[in-house]
């Protein structure tokens, strides 16, 4: 399946939760499969912090397909012979949608740190604009993990009649200080890196040599995406130094993993987008704008499918279970699945076979 | 109780686990209480990574007493009317014992990154030199938490006849990749900070303006010292920004806590010492030098008291329980206590009242 990115340009204002206005704005997106005549087969997939709208298929010349290609395609859990799948790059990201390095209209200079703080509520409002523009006013399902799961849940609460089914994975009802603290490592590491220049770095400045601050912050991220047990299994105490255990900078295998993954990442991802998206994760709170979490949850009319993973150390299973318990008490339609996994938070990207049947069943 | 630091100078060589030799070397230490005529009342306290030998009492003019002053003193859990307490600054630290910023004899320039990697085994070997020099050849007890607990356990294994009782808290039998990954954040953040200058910074360079890399690494440290639940109770989602939720760098209370604690710390603690001591934590493995962990544990002859804390996210209770299980199987004298706590790893520094009775009982 080959795919290409579409860019939708909006000259209408986008009203943000902060009171600020984003105008104009653009959204990058991809679609897979064919939309039905009655447009009743649309599935919206929401991506995570460092993900993109390139969720499935393969660009010409690329080595790798989209980040959830195992899930989406012909005959797969989200079957593109039946469904029209759309994934939209979130506001604030660096993959084509309007973000801090976009031109601050009418100038041709980037917003940089003048870009407004965007929230999960803002992200889904923007997505709804795009769907309307495409003539899509109702969804069969919304699916997402992590920040994508937050978007799915926020859709369920803010627009109760918009989607029939919500499938939220590895997310929470409100970000806890534990996760905010992990993001703090990244935010401080980026901010204090001299090459960040308080946001005034040149476009493309880090293509050759990634920003150290982003790489360092990403190490903290990777800790939270794994778990103590998954690290034991993956790395143990294996040592990869060349000169024995007694070099100061000799590395354990877990350290090599961190270096490899984060150095690459810091050349690809924009550090300012990282700041803004981490902030969006931090400010996520389903109850904001409602009298209480109970009131927010009560609004949900979609069939809600909650999937958590046993070793998730970023958004713990009990957080998703808490939503399920509230819905149970309200006799709202829902299912809760806690999946045992060796992969911690990353499981929603990796252990597809453990939840593919849930997606398949939910979309029936 | 007023105290002062002593410095012991050794011109004898210290043979390190790496094969390297440290000569001369110095150790800073403090003592509390009076040694008995038969020297049968000596309690050695071992400190944690960022701790010092200043464990109790107060220096003239200081605002705060030593880090475990609640535990050590007249009538306290480690009662100085009965016991002679000694605490020795670990090798590699920056509080008076020989470390990377000490003169590399015979030059007057610091070792810097030429300082040898030191291990927990090396730390306790150095301490044993000092105790011998003081004419102390047997201890009533060795007590310590975290890196201090590692030292206590290593004493128990390496010198089975040296101490009657070992009290190890919030430690492990071998550092797991989870903890190595947390240390990795600090090690990379320090290393990549331009002001670190590959270790060639001037002495006292960070007194006015702390090293960002150390502050950032310390944020990761503080995450691991707390726990998701303790952060919920301590900070919740409280926000301290002045201009509402929508400033990019507005802070949640947990973020303010991290900034406050880590910025201060980065002016006080030497970043090179942090690197070396983090490495000592990473390389800690009770079984190194023995055929197996089982063989290492089998050597222990002291009465072993293991204390872990329910919410400890750095060294999990099951790691201490694992040692207890091995000793149980071998019918070796031991006690295992898992203490419920709101403080995570930090509990051994904070929730004194929850384990004071165990110390008191163990020292009877």
pLDDT tens for chain B, 364 residues long, are 667 899 999 999 999 999 999 999 999 999 999 999 999 999 999 999 999 999 999 998 889 999 999 999 999 999 999 999 999 999 999 999 999 999 999 999 999 999 999 999 999 999 999 999 999 999 999 999 999 999 999 999 999 999 999 999 999 999 999 999 999 999 999 999 999 999 999 999 999 999 999 999 999 999 999 999 999 999 999 998 766 788 999 999 999 999 999 999 999 999 999 999 999 999 999 999 999 999 999 999 999 999 999 999 999 999 999 999 999 999 999 999 999 998 999 999 999 999 999 999 999 9
Q: Is the dihedral of CA A193, A196, A197, A198 positive or negative?
A: negative
- The answer to whether residues B50 and B93 belong to one domain is yes
Measured from the Cβ of residue A202, the count of other Cβ atoms closer than 10 Å reads: 8
- The answer to whether residues B163 and B202 belong to one domain is no
The angle formed by the CA atoms of residues B347, B351 and B357, to the nearest 5 degrees, is 115
Measured distance CA(A219)–CA(B296) in Å, rounded: 33
The beta-carbon neighbor of A232 closest among B113, B176, B283 is B176
Torsion-angle region of residue B135: left (phi > 0), alpha (psi -120 to 50) or beta? Answer: left
B341: its two tokens: 């706590």
Q: Which secondary-structure segment (H or E) carries A142?
A: strand A139-145
Q: Considering its fold, how many domains does chain B have in total? A: 2
* Chain B: closest CA distance from residue A197 (Å): 14
B47: its two tokens: 């400190």
Lookup result for tokens 């607990």: B149
Scanning A54-164, the segments in alpha helix (DSSP H) are 120-133, 147-158
Q: Which secondary-structure segment (H or E) carries A179?
A: helix A177-192
In a domain, B1, yes or no: no
What confidence score (pLDDT) does residue B243 get?
A: 65
Scanning chain B, the segments in alpha helix (DSSP H) are 120-133, 147-158, 177-192, 212-225, 228-234, 253-268, 271-283, 293-298, 317-329, 347-350, 352-362
Measured distance CA(B213)–CA(B194) in Å, rounded: 9
Residue of A nearest to B220 (CA): A185
Q: Which secondary-structure segment (H or E) carries B141?
A: strand B139-145
Measured distance CA(A307)–CA(A354) in Å, rounded: 11
The per-residue pLDDT for range A174-217, each reduced to its tens digit, is: 999 999 999 999 999 999 999 999 999 999 999 999 999 999 99
What confidence score (pLDDT) does residue A233 get?
A: 94
Active site residue: B146, B266, B273, B308, which one?
A: B146
Q: List all residues of chain B from 116 to 135 with a beta carbon under 8 Å from chain A.
A: 116-117, 119
CATH number at residue B239: 1.10.1740.110
Measured distance CA(B96)–CA(B93) in Å, rounded: 7
B214: its two tokens: 């150390």
- The answer to whether residues A125 and A231 belong to one domain is no
B-chain CB neighbours of A232 within 8 Å are: 176-178
State whether residue A174 sits within 8 Å of chain B by CB.
yes
Q: Do B220 and A215 touch (CB under 8 A)?
A: no
State whether residue B21 sits within 8 Å of chain A by CB.
no
Q: Last residue of some domain: B279, B309, B326?
A: B279
Query: Is residue B90 a contact partner of residue B119, using CB atoms and an 8 Å limit?
Result: no
Domain that holds residue B291: 6-174+284-362
Q: Do B180 and A212 touch (CB under 8 A)?
A: no
The beta-carbon neighbor of A177 closest among B177, B182, B231 is B231
- The answer to whether residues B75 and B42 belong to one domain is yes
In a domain, A118, yes or no: yes
Question: What is the crossing angle of helices A177-192 and B253-268, to 10°?
Answer: 50
- The answer to whether residues A10 and A80 belong to one domain is yes
Measured distance CA(B142)–CA(B87) in Å, rounded: 10
Measured distance CA(B173)–CA(B164) in Å, rounded: 20
- The answer to whether residues A151 and A28 belong to one domain is yes
In a domain, B191, yes or no: yes
- The answer to whether residues B170 and B185 belong to one domain is no
Q: Is the pLDDT of residue A110 over 90?
A: yes
- The answer to whether residues A46 and A137 belong to one domain is yes
In a domain, B148, yes or no: yes
B149: its two tokens: 């607990």
State whether residue B245 sits within 8 Å of chain A by CB.
yes
Q: Do B252 and A180 touch (CB under 8 A)?
A: yes
Q: How far is residue B57 from each of residues A358, B71, B72, B360, measured CA to CA in Å?
A: 61, 11, 8, 19
A130: its two tokens: 């795009």
Q: What is the mean pLDDT of chain A?
A: 96
Percent of chain A clearing pLDDT 90 (strictly above): 95
The angle formed by the CA atoms of residues B76, B79 and B81, to the nearest 5 degrees, is 125
Query: Is residue B210 a contact partner of residue B259, using CB atoms and an 8 Å limit?
Result: no
Lookup result for tokens 């050759």: A208
Query: Is residue B89 a contact partner of residue B55, using CB atoms and an 8 Å limit?
Result: no
pTM: 0.96
Q: Do A116 and B180 touch (CB under 8 A)?
A: no
Q: Last residue of some domain: B279, B307, B324?
A: B279
- Give B298: exposed, middle or buried? Use CB within 10 Å, 0-12, 13-18, 19+: middle
In a domain, A294, yes or no: yes
Residue of A nearest to B235 (CA): A177
In a domain, B202, yes or no: yes
In a domain, A152, yes or no: yes
State whether residue B177 sits within 8 Å of chain A by CB.
yes
> Which residue out of A172, A175, A178 would a mutagenesis test of the B interface target, given it has the greatest number of B Cβ atoms within 10 Å?
A178
- The answer to whether residues A46 and A153 belong to one domain is yes
Q: Is B232 labeled as catalytic in the residue annotation? A: no
CA nearest to B128, candidates B116, B115, B142, B117: B142
What confidence score (pLDDT) does residue B214 get?
A: 98
Query: Is residue A325 a contact partner of residue A293, using CB atoms and an 8 Å limit?
Result: no
Query: Is residue A179 a contact partner of residue A224, using CB atoms and an 8 Å limit?
Result: yes
CA nearest to A301, candidates A327, A324, A321, A320: A327
Q: Is the pLDDT of residue A150 over 80?
A: yes
Query: Complex ipTM, two decimals?
Result: 0.95
Q: Last residue of some domain: B244, B279, B314?
A: B279
> Which residue out of A115, A173, A177, A238 would a mutagenesis test of the B interface target, given it has the greatest number of B Cβ atoms within 10 Å?
A177
Query: Is residue B123 a contact partner of residue B90, using CB atoms and an 8 Å limit?
Result: yes
B327: its two tokens: 């000793």
What confidence score (pLDDT) does residue A243 get?
A: 65
B-chain CB neighbours of A248 within 8 Å are: 113, 117, 275-276, 279
- The answer to whether residues A90 and A107 belong to one domain is yes
> Which residue out of B189, B222, B259 would a mutagenesis test of the A interface target, given it has the greatest number of A Cβ atoms within 10 Å?
B189
The per-residue pLDDT for range A299-355, each reduced to its tens digit, is: 999 999 999 999 999 999 999 999 999 999 999 999 999 999 989 999 999 999 999
Q: Is the dihedral of CA A44, A50, A56, A57 positive or negative?
A: positive
Measured distance CA(B182)–CA(B180) in Å, rounded: 5
CATH number at residue A309: 3.40.50.1820
- The answer to whether residues A296 and A352 belong to one domain is yes
- The answer to whether residues B134 and B187 belong to one domain is no
Q: Do B244 and A178 touch (CB under 8 A)?
A: no
Q: Is the pLDDT of residue A283 over 90?
A: yes
In a domain, A244, yes or no: yes
Measured distance CA(A141)–CA(A40) in Å, rounded: 10
Catalogue the long-range contacts made by B212-215 (C-beta closer than 8 Å, 24 or more residues apart): B212/A188, B212/A192, B212/B266, B213/B186, B213/B189, B213/B271, B214/B186, B214/B189, B214/B190, B214/B262, B214/B265, B214/B266, B214/B269, B214/B271, B214/B274, B215/A188, B215/A192, B215/B262, B215/B263, B215/B265, B215/B266
State whether residue B316 sits within 8 Å of chain A by CB.
yes
State whether residue B175 sits within 8 Å of chain A by CB.
yes
Measured distance CA(A135)–CA(B5) in Å, rounded: 77
CA nearest to A166, candidates A43, A58, A15, A24: A43
């Amino acid at each position: 399946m080959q795919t290409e990115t579409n860019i939708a340009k909006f000259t209408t204002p986008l009203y943000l939760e902060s009171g600020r206005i984003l105008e104009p704005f653009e959204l990058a997106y991809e679609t897979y499969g064919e939309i039905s005549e009655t447009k009743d087969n649309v599935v919206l997939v929401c991506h995570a912090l460092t993900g993109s709208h390139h969720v499935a298929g393969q660009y010409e010349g690329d080595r790798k397909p989209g980040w959830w290609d195992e899930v989406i395609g012909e005959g797969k859990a989200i079957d593109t012979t039946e469904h029209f799948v759309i994934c939209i790059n979130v506001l604030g990201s660096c993959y084509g949608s309007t973000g801090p390095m976009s031109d601050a209209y009418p100038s041709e200079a980037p917003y940089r740190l003048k870009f407004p703080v965007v929230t999960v509520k803002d992200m889904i409002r923007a997505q709804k604009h795009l769907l309307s523009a495409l003539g899509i006013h109702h969804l069969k399902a919304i699916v997402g993990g992590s920040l994508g799961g937050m978007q799915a849940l926020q859709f369920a609460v803010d627009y109760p009649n918009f989607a029939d089914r919500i499938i939220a994975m590895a997310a929470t009802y409100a970000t806890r200080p534990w996760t905010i603290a992990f993001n703090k490592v990244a935010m401080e590491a980026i901010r204090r890196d001299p090459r960040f220049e308080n946001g005034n770095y040149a476009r493309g400045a880090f293509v050759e040599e990634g920003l150290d601050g982003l790489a360092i912050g990403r190490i903290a991220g990777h800790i939270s995406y794994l778990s103590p047990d998954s690290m034991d299994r993956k790395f143990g105490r294996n040592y990869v130094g060349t000169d024995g255990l007694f070099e100061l900078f000799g590395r354990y295998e877990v350290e090599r993993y961190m270096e490899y993954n984060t150095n690459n990442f810091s050349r690809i991802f924009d550090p300012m987008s990282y700041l803004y998206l981490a902030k969006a994760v931090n400010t996520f709170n389903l109850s904001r704008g409602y009298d209480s979490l109970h009131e927010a949850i009560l609004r949900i009319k979609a069939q809600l499918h909650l999937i958590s993973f046993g070793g998730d150390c970023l958004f713990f299973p009990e957080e998703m279970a808490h939503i399920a318990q509230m819905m149970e008490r309200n006799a709202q339609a829902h299912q809760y699945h806690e999946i045992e996994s060796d992969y911690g938070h990353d499981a929603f990207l990796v252990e597809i076979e453990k939840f593919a049947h849930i997606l398949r069943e939910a979309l029936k």
